[in-house]
């Protein structure tokens, strides 16, 4: 089953959810601002995405600019920062089995479906 880590205030996330809704596959929606991923869950997502924590940080968010911009954090510290400030996480993330993508484009979403 597919899983989408969704933020309803994000247009890209809403677009990805719309595509999933129009498809035939079952999927689960996780509103990650309300159901904040645990540190272990974030590590699993990063593994499935094949990237490092800093790669999925939203660097335009106010909390990033105020608390983290210019800081050199370890991967573990970035993961904790995302757990404590989930708005920092790029969205939407769509998971299909052992793979995941940041589905901000139609091509990325197509790749995971």
Catalytic site positions: 10
Question: Do residues 78 and 53 lie in contact, with contact meaning Cβ atoms separated by under 8 Å?
Answer: yes
Adjacency order of strands within the sheet including 27-31: 27-31, 2-6, 93-96, 99-102
Query: Which element (helix H / strand E) includes 100?
Result: strand 99-102
Nearest Cα neighbor of 99 from 44, 61, 59 is: 44
């Amino acid at each position: 089953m597919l899983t989408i880590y969704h933020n309803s205030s994000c247009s890209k996330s809403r677009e990805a959810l719309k595509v999933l809704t129009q498809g035939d596959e079952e999927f689960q929606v996780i509103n990650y601002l309300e159901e904040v991923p645990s540190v272990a869950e974030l590590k699993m997502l990063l593994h499935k995405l094949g990237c490092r924590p800093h790669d999925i940080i939203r660097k335009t968010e106010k909390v990033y600019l105020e608390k983290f911009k210019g800081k050199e954090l370890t991967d573990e510290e970035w993961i904790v920062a995302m757990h404590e400030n989930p708005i920092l996480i790029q969205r939407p993330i769509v998971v299909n089995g052992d793979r995941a993508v940041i589905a901000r484009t139609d091509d990325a979403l197509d790749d995971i479906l």
